[in-house]
């Protein structure tokens, strides 16, 4: 059941990456939504939860070391959201709105590749 959950999360991440690739203009709306109020902390919570799920499923995965590594990346990136100054993170999101479309598309491909990597190692 845990492996199924991880595979669903991986497909969701890959789908998000493909959405960013296909519709780079809409990602600015998402970043603007996250910047408002305390919503940035929800991103940290989601990252921490995904990290915990990956760490819990590592023993049942095809490549446990890779699953632990990716889980730690997610967990640490979630913790960084809570450790950093929220205004600096909001500034980072504001800067992302100024990136050229080709850069956003490339980042979307990276996110999609990351999701497919997680899908294949679990």
Residue ranges of the chain with per-residue pLDDT less than 50: none
Domain boundaries, the chain: 2-121
Helix (H) / strand (E) containing 19: helix 2-22
pTM for the structure as a whole: 0.84
d(CA 84, CA 115): 25
pLDDT in tens, 81-110: 899 888 888 777 777 777 888 999 999 999
């Amino acid at each position: 059941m845990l492996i199924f959950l991880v595979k669903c999360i991986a497909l969701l991440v890959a789908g998000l990456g493909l959405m960013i690739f296909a519709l780079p203009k809409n990602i600015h709306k998402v970043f603007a939504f996250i910047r408002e109020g305390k919503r940035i902390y929800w991103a940290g919570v989601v990252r921490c939860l995904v990290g915990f799920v990956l760490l819990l499923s590592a023993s049942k995965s095809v490549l446990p070391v890779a699953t632990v590594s990716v889980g730690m990346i997610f967990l640490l990136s979630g913790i960084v959201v809570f450790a950093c100054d929220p205004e600096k993170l909001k500034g980072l999101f504001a800067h992302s709105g100024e990136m050229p479309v080709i850069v956003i598309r490339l980042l979307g491909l990276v996110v999609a590749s990351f999701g497919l990597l997680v899908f294949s190692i679990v």
